[in-house]
Chain A
Amino acid sequence: MHTRIGDYASRSREIIRGDLGVREAVTGATIAFDQKRLQGYAEVDADAWRRWAEGVKSHTLTHLDRYLTEAEARLEANGTEVHWAADAAEAREVVMSLAARHSVKSVVKGKSMVTEEIDLNPALEAAGIEVYETDLGEYILQLLGEEPSHILGPAIHKSLQQVQQLFADHLGSEPGGDPDTLARAARRVLRDAFIQSDMGITGGNFLVAETGTVALIENEGNIRLTTSLPRVHVAVVGIEKLVPCMADLAGFLQLTARAATGQPIGCFVSLVQGPAAHPDDDGPEEVHVVLVDNGRTNVLAHEHAWEALRCLRCGACLNACPVYRQTGGHAYGYVYSGPIGSVLDPGLLGLHEAMPLPFASSLCGACEDACPVRIPIPEMLLEWRREAQEEGLTPWKERAALKALASVATRPGLYRAAGRIGSRLGATGVARALPMLGEWAAERALPTPSGRTFRELWREGIE
Chain B
Amino acid sequence: MSAGARERIMARVARATASRPGVPHPGALVTLPAEDAVDAFVKRFTISGGEVARADPERPPGEWLTGFLRGLEPQVMGVAVGPDVPPELRPGLPAVAAAHAGAGISMAWSAAADTGSLVLPSTGTRAVQLLPPVHVVWVPAARVFARLEDALRELEAELPAALGLHSGPSKSADIGRTVVTGVHGPGRCIAAFS
Residue numbers of A with Cβ under 8 A of B are 28-29, 32, 44, 48-49, 51-52, 55-56, 58-59, 61-65, 68-69, 78, 83-86, 90, 94, 134-137, 140, 153-156, 159-160, 163, 178-180, 182-183, 186-187, 190-191, 194-195, 210-211, 213, 219-222, 224-225, 227-229, 239, 244-251, 253-254, 263-278, 280-283, 291, 293, 297, 300-301, 306
Contacts and interface: CB of A to CB of B under 8 A. Distances in A.
A59 B114 CA distance: 26
B126 A224 contact: yes
A219 B184 CA distance: 9
Contacts of A155: 174
Given A163-B176, A306-B20, A247 B130 contact: no
A78 B163 CA distance: 14
A62 B9 contact: no
Nearest to B47: A264
A59 B10 contact: no
B152 interface: yes
8 contacts: A29-B177, A51-B26, A52-B29, A190-B184, A229-B127, A267-B166, A267-B167, A268-B185
Which of B29, B48, B115, B174 has the most C-beta atoms of chain A within 10 angstroms of its own C-beta? B174
B170 A267 contact: yes
B173 to A, nearest CB: 7
Contacts of B171: 219-220, 267
A283 B162 CA distance: 8
A160 B176 contact: yes
Interface stretch (B11-19, B63-71, B86-94): B11-19
Interface string B175-192: 111101011111000000
B164 A300 contact: no
Interface in B1-43: 2-3, 5-6, 8-10, 12-17, 20-26, 28-31
Chain B, interface size category, equals: 35 or more
Given A179-B176, A220-B171, A297 B161 contact: no
Contacts of B184: 134, 187, 190-191, 194, 220-222, 224-225
B148 interface: yes
A211 B28 CA distance: 17
A178 B180 CA distance: 10
A281 to B, nearest CB: 5
A83 B2 CA distance: 6
A308 B13 CA distance: 15
B128 to A, nearest CB: 9
Given A51-B26, A84-B2, A264-B48, A269 B172 contact: no
Closest 5 CB pairs of A and B: A221-B185, A160-B176, A55-B26, A137-B174, A301-B16
Interface in B78-134: 83-84, 99, 114-117, 122-127, 129-130
A219 B172 contact: yes
Interface of B: 2-3, 5-6, 8-10, 12-17, 20-26, 28-31, 44, 48-49, 83-84, 99, 114-117, 122-127, 129-130, 147-149, 152-153, 155-156, 159-178, 180, 182-186
Contacts of A263: 48
Nearest to B8: A86
Given A221-B186, A247-B149, A306-B20, A277 B161 contact: yes
Contacts of A266: 167
A62 B17 contact: yes
B10 A65 contact: yes
Given A190-B184, A267-B167, A278-B161, 8 more contacts: A90-B2, A183-B172, A210-B156, A220-B170, A224-B164, A228-B126, A247-B152, A271-B165
Nearest to A91: B5
Contacts of B149: 246-247, 250-251
B116 A264 contact: yes
Given A160-B178, A266-B167, A276-B161, A239 B9 contact: yes
A94 B127 contact: no
Contacts of B170: 219-221, 267-268
Contact of A254 (B49, B115, B155, B176): B115
Contact of A280 (B84, B117, B182): B84
Contacts of B17: 61-65, 300
Contacts of A69: 10
B13 A251 contact: no
Contacts of B29: 48-49, 52, 247-248, 250-251
Contacts of A210: 156
B183 A28 contact: no
Contacts of A178: 178
Contacts of A56: 25-26
A280 B129 CA distance: 13
Nearest to B45: A264
B125 A239 contact: no
B90 to A, nearest CB: 15
B183 A44 contact: no
Contact of A48 (B30, B156, B185): B30
A65 B176 contact: no
Contact of A135 (B15, B164, B165, B174): B174
B30 A278 contact: no
Contacts of A194: 184
A271 B163 contact: yes
Contacts of A213: 159
Contact of A156 (B12, B14, B30, B177): B177
B13 A65 contact: yes
A250 B29 CA distance: 9
